[in-house]
Amino acid sequence: MASSENIIYRAGVDFESRPMVVICACNLPDPNVIDYDTILSVVLAQLDQFVENDYTVVMFSGGALYRPGWKWLFKAYRSLNRRYKKNLKALYVVHPSTWPRLILGTMNAVISPKFSAKVHFIDNLSQLARVVPLNQINIPAAVYKHNLKFEDAITLPEDQQDNAHRVFGASLERLMGPNGEKGLPKVIQDCIGNLIANGLYVEGLFRRSPSSAMLKQVRAAYDRGNPVDLSEYDVHISAVLLKLFLRELPEPIFPVSVYAKLQQQKRGEQTKTVLEFIRTEVILEVTHINLVLMMEVFRLLKMVADRHESNKMTAYNLALVMTPNMVRHDDVMQEIALSSVAAHLQRESIVEGALTLGTVIKVMIEHYDEVF
């Protein structure tokens, strides 16, 4: 059941620094279960916080499963007395179907013709971005999905197209600070948090692919700086976003210098246990901020592997799907070779020719506590 906070909530401010109130029709509950008069009282109570000053309302009409009846809508409209309407500067109705156009048109003609000048019908999210700052609005997943009926991608106005919020392909130094003082990037926090809460027992986690169209929408939202609630989406989107983030880092999370050390081991120049090699040769090559990120990612992977009887993702399976996102090499064949994973590797010794980055990652997942 949708909470009142999901139906109406405060966003940021519009281009004239007026507070924005967002109303989401997609989060309206079944009227046979919830009394809509109660919802009306909640909506009015929220609006009471803003009506004494100028404010803007953005109403997402698309993606709604339930729609209130005419009688209730006229009652709701009449409840908006002069103090609500006076300081309302604009009502943007996004993805209006015939239903809201007809209702608002009828109300404006019959009850308040002057109010119609404040109502603006917005066909898609690109158009909405031209009238309000899109990155300050938490847009529900149902709205993104509905928007795909009208446009494949959201296009921001030229004066809003910058990389200030871009997270995919950005350096860890910019996102986390030179010493990691800013903490984990928000997208990583969100992905890990959602996967721990909702994905640990999902079969094929990190292996299965979600809707590519919705994945693009969520990725673009993070790059715009939009707040995102990943719990509204297919949990596989969180898993793929995490892989994409690692894959698109300007520098791989495992530095290239590690590759040479792996080559030395393959030639049998040294004899060490796998864990000793990881602790003394691999981890010491990783920068501080990479290590902070690595610890959280591998903590999650360990939690997933520990539940492999349910999710079918053993440390071996996870290493297979994760390693290609952590390795980078100009030679494609070398990259493929580095990504291979030994199915069976004795903990006590390194078998000549068997140690690859994929195998290192498998062991790091299996023995997280000993590595970190």
Q: Kindly state the DSSP code that residue 278 receives in the 8-state scheme.
A: I
CATH 3.40.525.10 describes domain 4-160 = yes
Tell whether the torsion through CA atoms of 34, 36, 41 and 42 is positive or negative.
Answer: positive
Tell whether the model's pLDDT for residue 271 goes beyond 70. Answer: no
Tell me which of 18-22, 246-250, 286-290 is least confident.
18-22
Q: Which residues of 303-316 are buried (b: 16+ CB within 10 A; e: fewer)?
A: bbbbeeeebebbbb
Which CA distances in Å does 17 have to 8, 11, 57, 155, 224?
Answer: 19, 12, 13, 22, 19
- Collect contacts of 284-290 with beta carbons under 8 A, ≥24 apart: 285/254, 285/255, 285/257, 285/258, 285/261, 286/253, 286/254, 286/255, 287/255, 288/179, 288/180, 289/172, 289/173, 289/176, 289/177, 289/178, 289/179, 289/180, 290/172, 290/253, 290/255
Tell whether the model's pLDDT for residue 348 goes beyond 50. Answer: no
pLDDT computed for residue 102 by the predictor: 66
| 137 — pLDDT class (breaks 50, 70, 90) | very high
**pLDDT tens string 217-256:** 999 999 999 989 999 999 999 999 999 999 999 999 998 8
With H, G, I as helix, E, B as strand and everything else as coil, classify residue 305.
helix
pLDDT computed for residue 353 by the predictor: 53
Q: Residue 131 in contact with residue 120, Cβ under 8 Å?
A: yes
**Locate tokens 């158009």: which residue?**
127
pLDDT averaged over the chain? 85
Q: Kindly state the DSSP code that residue 351 receives in the 8-state scheme.
A: P
Q: Kindly state the DSSP code that residue 83 receives in the 8-state scheme.
A: H
Sequence-ordered list of residues with C-beta below 8 angstroms from that of 48, at least 6 positions apart, any chain = none
pLDDT computed for residue 186 by the predictor: 95
Q: Rounded to whole angstroms, how far apart are CA atoms 157 and 99?
A: 29
**pLDDT tens string 64-116:** 888 777 777 777 777 777 777 788 888 899 998 776 666 666 555 555 667 77
Domain 4-160 identical in fold to domain 172-247 = no
For the chain, the structural domain boundaries read 4-160, 172-247, 257-371
User: 85 or 285: whose pLDDT is higher?
Assistant: 285
| 127 — pLDDT class (breaks 50, 70, 90) | very high
CATH class of domain segment(s) 172-247: mainly alpha
